[in-house]
Amino acid sequence: MVLEPVCCPSCNSTNIVKNGKSDEGKQRYRCRNAECSRRSFIREYSYRGYLPEIKQQISDMAVNGSGIRDTARVLKISPTTVIEELKKDRHLEQVNTSLLQQMENPPTSTMVVKVEEAEMDEMWSFAQSKKQQR
């Protein structure tokens, strides 16, 4: 019998316990590290949208100007997953800090304000004929 240690994907702690099974029958684990930001995880996710690499790619593509549908199509995930990930405040910054550092004469005062709410808009179209029901 070979025992393989399970590490938390966030903090790399080995202080892990089993925490039941998912709906798909996969083993769920719980990190017992008090400072860890991620409590529960599964080692191999079925849906690609849950993977940390995909979440990072979502924010990278958003910064580079890719739209929600384009991002979802390229990464082969749902547009809803893209929107929900972009709503989280940990990925995007409002200010281009590298540009401010490169400026010879930076502005005398720079005010950085965290926005509580933002609204995203997409263009929607209707491609069928609308039939009136009476």
Tokens of 5: 């240690």
d(CA 82, CA 54): 10
pTM of the model: 0.49
Q: Hey, where are the domains in the chain? A: 1-45, 47-89
Supply φ then ψ for residue 85, to 5 degrees: -70, -35
Decide if pLDDT at 125 tops 70: no
3-state helix, strand, coil split of the chain in percent (to 5) is 30, 10, 60
Contact 61, 74 (CB under 8 A): yes
Task: Please report the sign of the dihedral spanned by the C-alpha atoms of residue 83, residue 85, residue 89, residue 93.
Answer: negative
CA distances from 48 to 23, 37, 55, 82 (A): 16, 21, 9, 12
pLDDT digits (tens, 9 = 90+) for 62-119: 888 889 999 999 999 999 999 988 887 665 556 667 777 777 766 666 667 777 776 6
Contact 46, 26 (CB under 8 A): yes
Q: What is the pLDDT of residue 79?
A: 93
